[in-house]
Amino acid sequence: MDIRAAFMKLYWKMERLITPGLRSSQHAYEETLRDHLAPDARWLDLGCGHQLLPDWRETQEQELVSRARVLVGVDYCLESLKRHRSIRLKARADIGCLPFGHGIFDLVTANTVVEHLDDPKVQFGEALRVLKPGGLFIFHTPNGLGYPTILARLIPEALKARLACILERRQEHDVFRTYYRANTRGRIRRLAEQLGFDVLSLQMVVSSAHLVVIPPLVIAELCWIRLLMTRPLEALRTNIIAILRKSPTGPSSPPGGDPW
């Protein structure tokens, strides 16, 4: 057993003791997708990278993918697109200028991508444009008021890749610049109002601790997460899962028939 595995084993014991019921925010995001992914839906995943869900949810990812009539992934990183484990239809493109017509998709998603958007009004606008009337934009992103985001914003960009490797075993090419320009409930609501989205849900969730490999600090982190699980500190929870809807009375798709 390597040292990281030993730390993980210790962490799971501490997590069960200090924060019973805690789970990764990725579980909540996956459940949200499962609840809103209609059979035969046309689905677009923004910033798809090389997977839809974390490494340890590959089976669940394949099950979700199989439910969609069409699933398209978009990312600007060509190497990530080449390595994607489940999406067959992929396009290298900027989220701010999607290569699709109006009103094509039933569902647009983004998993830990919104924090990387440099102009979310434009990029949310593109998600709105390609959605059908009544279509959903579902995304999972860090809360700008959560402690991991606040700490991350204090870390110089040059050190972020190294820390991500140590704490999360992420490779340098999987670490991208963050802006956090649409990462609070207030900012999301304002963007939705400006663009014409209906806000169906802004769920505040907590997630597993980050400092797993530093046992003395992770105890303090788990104690804070336990407090975040209470209602009074809901606004400071670590992650947001948003469900926005394009108005059902919005413009319909342009003529031209089924693009698929």
Domain extent listing, the chain: 22-212+234-246
d(CA 139, CA 114): 8
d(CA 226, CA 232): 12
What per-residue string of b and e applies to 168-207 under the rule 16 or more CB within 10 Å gives b?
eeeeeebbbebebbbbbbeebeebbeebebeeeebbbbbb
Confidence (pTM) = 0.90
Q: What is the pLDDT of residues 55-76, one digit of tens each?
A: 999 999 999 999 999 999 999 9
Q: How confident is the model at residue 168 (pLDDT cuts 50, 70, 90)?
A: low
Tell me, what DSSP letter sits at residue 173?
Answer: G
Q: Look at 105 and 2; give whichever has higher pLDDT.
A: 105
Q: How confident is the model at residue 7 (pLDDT cuts 50, 70, 90)?
A: confident
Amino acid type, 198: D
d(CA 43, CA 72): 6
Q: What φ, ψ does residue 27 adopt, rounded to 5°?
A: -65, -45
Q: Which secondary-structure segment (H or E) carries 42?
A: strand 42-46
145 burial type by CB count under 10 A (0-12 exposed, 13-18 middle, 19+ buried):
middle
Average pLDDT over residues 154-172: 65
Q: Count of alpha carbons within 13 Å of 91, Cβ hemisphere only?
A: 13
pLDDT of residue 249: 81
d(CA 220, CA 226): 10
22-212+234-246 is a CATH 3.40.50.150 domain? yes
Q: Would you tell me how many other CB atoms lie within 10 Å of the CB of residue 2?
A: 7
Q: How confident is the model at residue 8 (pLDDT cuts 50, 70, 90)?
A: confident
The encoded tokens of residue 86 equal: 């489940």
pLDDT of residue 160: 63
> Does the pLDDT at position 132 exceed 70?
yes
